């Protein structure tokens, strides 16, 4: 889940908003961590206890609802994956100088290769964990060599000078919006880690996923802040790359390429796997040929990238749109939490249920406030 969240959009969003809000962006990150934890614990517990995927829970609540939820999640996952493929191409360009079109194609083939391995689930998990460690270590190095205004960072994390809803919605959408919050939940179902006897494992996994993604977000924020506080303007065509280059010169640019490619390829795998998992129980054809469907999903994403530009706007837009999906998916899960036909004798904690409804309300308000900002961003 964490490495699915940490993709090119994750990097780009963090760089763009750090430049816009400086140290005050730390407060927005802190707020989104709280929202993310509430959303993910609710979703994973209900999926884990019921042993059902998100679309199946939806269909048990209301026949046909699962198809609607699957449609919006898959479309959101496709939007993310176009950016993921683009980011993989840009990562290979920055690290080894390869043309981004060729880089995107090669990366797509690597992602497809992961699903050709016989033990697909284990291959995906090992691949994601290894590159996740690489990303954190490389970004941590850039933070270590950056001169940061630590006192201002601490103050603005609690008392921001500026605050807007669009960054919050975008960050939440990029961490638990759309398909991402289901990525780990569906892997738990596939691995058989279900039922009330596994609640401790489910809770630990949900919290660790958010904390790992949040650690990466904080490290990126600090790395980018160390650059922008020196008065360096980020290149709008590739904000995170210019930040790494400003922090560590040519070496920084090479490191960024590795980080971006690692983030992109793990997200390609995670997005394709989870998006198709929403279709497996709704279509016998997809269930029978789910690996081929995953491959087709990756190829479609790659094809669209090769014909559509504006990657920076697309990456931020994808996060925002997936944030708008969150009230739908989380709302369905919260209603399901009280249905014995879905969760059996399990009783969902009231504090967790109410916190989930608060997140739904906040996401709706943020979405309403941010629609205009999204429209202006795309112009």
pLDDT tier for residue 351 given thresholds of 50, 70 and 90: very high
**DSSP per-residue letters across 96-139:** H---HHHHHHHHHHHHHHHHHSSSHHHHHHHHHHHHHHHHHHHH
| pLDDT tens profile 98-139 | 888 888 889 888 888 877 775 655 666 676 677 667 767 777
Domain map (residue ranges) of the chain:
2-378
Task: Quote the mean pLDDT of the chain.
Answer: 82
**What's the first-to-final CA gap in the chain, in angstroms?**
32
Unique residue bearing structure tokens 């284990």: 122
Is-above-0.85 flag for pTM?
no
3-state class of 63 per DSSP?
coil
| pLDDT tens profile 226-256 | 888 888 788 877 778 787 777 777 777 787 7
Closest CA to 296 of 124, 108, 121: 108
Task: Give the span between the Cα atoms of 153 and 159, in whole angstroms.
Answer: 10
Topology classification of domain 2-378: Amino acid/polyamine transporter I (1.20.1740)
pLDDT (mean) for 137-162: 83
CA 84 to chain centre: 10
3-state class of 38 per DSSP?
helix
Give the pLDDT of residue 124: 60
Closest CA to 54 of 352, 335, 349: 335
From residue 275, how far is each of 268, 294, 296, 310 by CA, in Å?
A: 11, 8, 12, 23
């Amino acid at each position: 889940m964490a490495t699915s969240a940490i993709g090119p959009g994750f990097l780009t969003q963090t760089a763009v908003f750090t430049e816009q809000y400086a140290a005050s962006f730390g407060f927005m990150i802190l707020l989104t961590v709280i929202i993310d934890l509430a959303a993910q614990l609710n979703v994973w517990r209900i999926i884990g206890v019921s042993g059902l995927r998100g679309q199946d829970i939806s269909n048990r609540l209301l026949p046909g609802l699962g198809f609607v939820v699957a449609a919006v999640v898959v479309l959101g996952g496709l939007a993310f994956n176009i950016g993921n493929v683009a980011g993989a191409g840009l990562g290979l360009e920055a690290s080894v100088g390869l043309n981004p079109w060729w880089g995107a194609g090669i990366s797509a083939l690597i992602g497809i290769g992961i699903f050709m391995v016989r033990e697909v689930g284990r291959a995906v998990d090992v691949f994601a964990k290894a590159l996740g460690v690489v990303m954190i270590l490389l970004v941590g190095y850039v933070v270590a060599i950056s001169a940061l205004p630590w006192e201002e960072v601490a103050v603005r994390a609690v008392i921001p000078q500026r605050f807007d809803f669009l960054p919050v919605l975008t960050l939440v959408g990029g961490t638990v919006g759309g398909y991402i919050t289901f990525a780990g939940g569906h892997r738990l179902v596939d691995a058989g880690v279900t039922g009330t006897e596994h609640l401790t494992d489910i809770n630990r996994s949900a919290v660790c996923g958010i904390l790992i993604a949040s650690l990466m977000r904080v490290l990126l924020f600090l790395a980018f802040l160390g650059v922008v506080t020196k008065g360096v303007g980020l290149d709008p065509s590739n904000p995170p790359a210019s930040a790494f280059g400003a922090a560590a010169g040519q070496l920084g640019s090479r490191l960024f390429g590795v980080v971006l490619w690692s983030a992109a390829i793990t997200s390609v795998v995670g997005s394709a796997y989870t998006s198709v998992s929403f279709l497996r129980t709704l279509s016998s054809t997809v269930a029978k040929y789910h690996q081929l469907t995953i491959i087709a999903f990756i190829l479609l994403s790659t094809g669209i990238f090769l014909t559509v530009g504006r990657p920076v706007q697309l990456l931020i837009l994808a996060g925002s749109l997936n944030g708008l999906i969150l009230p739908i998916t989380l709302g369905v899960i919260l209603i399901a939490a009280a249905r014995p036909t879905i969760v059996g004798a399990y009783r969902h904690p009231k504090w967790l249920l109410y916190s989930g409804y608060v997140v739904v309300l906040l996401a709706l308000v943020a979405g309403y406030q941010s629609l205009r900002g999204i429209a202006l961003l795309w112009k």
